[in-house]
Structure formats: structure tokens, C-alpha cells
Amino acid sequence: MQEEAKAKQIVGRAIDGTPLTAEELWQRIQEAEARIDNGEFTTQEDLEKESEGW
């Protein structure tokens, strides 16, 4: 029961201001790590090159 309460505890807020629970944060972390493992990311160098044309 205590672990379930911790999972539902609000630990932050999303960009739009909606509450973010520990469970939702953990899910987002896992999804982000999966994207990184699949090579779905932008390097600092690529971002710098891209931003030159802004």
C-alpha cells in the first residue's frame, strides 16, 4: 500500500503545468531511454549546426 501511495505522489509538473506523479515520471524516463537506445536523439553538434540556419 505504501509503495502504491509513493507511485501516485506528485513529484513535479509537466511543461504545461499539469502534475506529474512518480509513476508517470518513471514511465517517461523509460520511454526516453528506449528512444536513446534506438538512436533517436540529437547530438549537441547536430543541434549547433541546425541552429546556424535559424
pLDDT attached to residue 47: 96
Q: Enter the DSSP assignment of 29.
A: H
Secondary-structure percent of the chain, ordered helix, strand, coil, rounded to 5: 55, 15, 30
pLDDT attached to residue 16: 97
Where in the sequence is the domain holding 10, given as residue range(s)?
2-41
CB 49 within 8 A of CB 35: no
The count of domains in the chain is 1
Domain-embedded: residue 50: no
Record the pTM: 0.72
Q: pLDDT tens digits, residue range 2-44?
A: 888 888 999 999 999 999 999 999 999 999 999 999 999 999 9
Domain-embedded: residue 51: no
pLDDT attached to residue 3: 82
Mean pLDDT, rounded, for 39-53? 96
Read off the amino acid at residue 42. T
Domain-embedded: residue 35: yes
CB 9 within 8 A of CB 19: no
